[in-house]
Amino acid sequence: MEVNTRVRALEYLIQQKAVPGIVESVPSFRSLLVYYDPARLGYETLCETLGDLAEQAGTGVLPPSRIVELPCCYDPDLGLDLVAAAQRLALSVDELVRLHAGAEYLVYFVGFTPGLPYMAGVPERIRLPRLETPRVKVPPGSAGLGGAQFCIYSVESPGGYWLLGRTPARLYDPTAAEPTLLRAGDRVRLRPIDRAEYDAIAARVEAHAWQPVIA
């Protein structure tokens, strides 16, 4: 977690400094990919600049996290692996839901597909290796567990995580001015909801009349 914090701190320092010639950057678990324009910035100069900034990229650099509350419905019809995951962990479904929804998750980075958050903070007791056979199609909004990582699928895509529930929130909406909801460094809290509330929020999301609580 400390390495990832430093990755995000380095990206933040690069943005603050607005280094000419750096085009964009992609944070991930333990690395930062930096795109640059070699016509404006030489490779050696870039390495020197990044080296200097990396030394300053400590844990105190980053601004406070946003806290995003996402409703999540743990209904076996939506959390397609909920029952199987509970069995595999030798927990009751209720206990698994309590442990999963009770944790706070840190967004390490957003990637793979648009707006998909890779999150840390999965309690030890509910960690599972990825599915033997990945699903060809995972519905968007699915809350997935894979090892020490938690993710929420942002678009329909293949996926190998255990699906515990689903949020009616849209993590990616190409028609919105800001299409992606979560950012690296956000803290995510889950609010368990029943199926009726899931359907009600989903209808409001569809009508563009619902936003999650962000503090």
| Site residues, other proteins (CB under 8 A) | 11, 23-33, 35, 38-39, 43, 109-116, 118, 154-155, 172, 174, 179-180, 183-184
Q: Using the minimum distance from each CB to other proteins, give the nearer residue, 76 or 113.
A: 113
Nearer to other proteins, 154 or 167 (CB): 154
Cα dihedral sign, 166-172-176-181:
positive
CB of 190 to other proteins, least distance (A): 21
Distance CA 39, CA 12 (A): 24
Nearest distance in Å: CB 208, other proteins? 16
Q: Among 180, 189, 186, which residue's Cα sits nearest to residue 64?
A: 186
Q: Smaller CB distance to other proteins: residue 13 or 96?
A: 13
Q: Of how many residues is the chain composed?
A: 215
Our CB check for other proteins shows the closer of 11 and 81 to be 11
* AA identity, residue 90: A
Instruction: Please report how close the Cβ of residue 184 comes to other proteins at its closest, in angstroms.
Output: 7
C-beta of 26 vs 89, nearer to other proteins:
26
Distance in angstroms (rounded) separating the CA atoms of residues 50 and 9? 12
The residues, any chain, with a CB within 8 Å of residue 36's CB and separated by 6 or more, are: 21, 22, 23, 46
Closest contact distance (angstroms) between CB of 199 and other proteins is 24
Among the residues of 21-156, which ranges form H helices?
A: 43-56, 82-89, 93-102
Minimum Å gap between C-beta 29 and other proteins is: 5
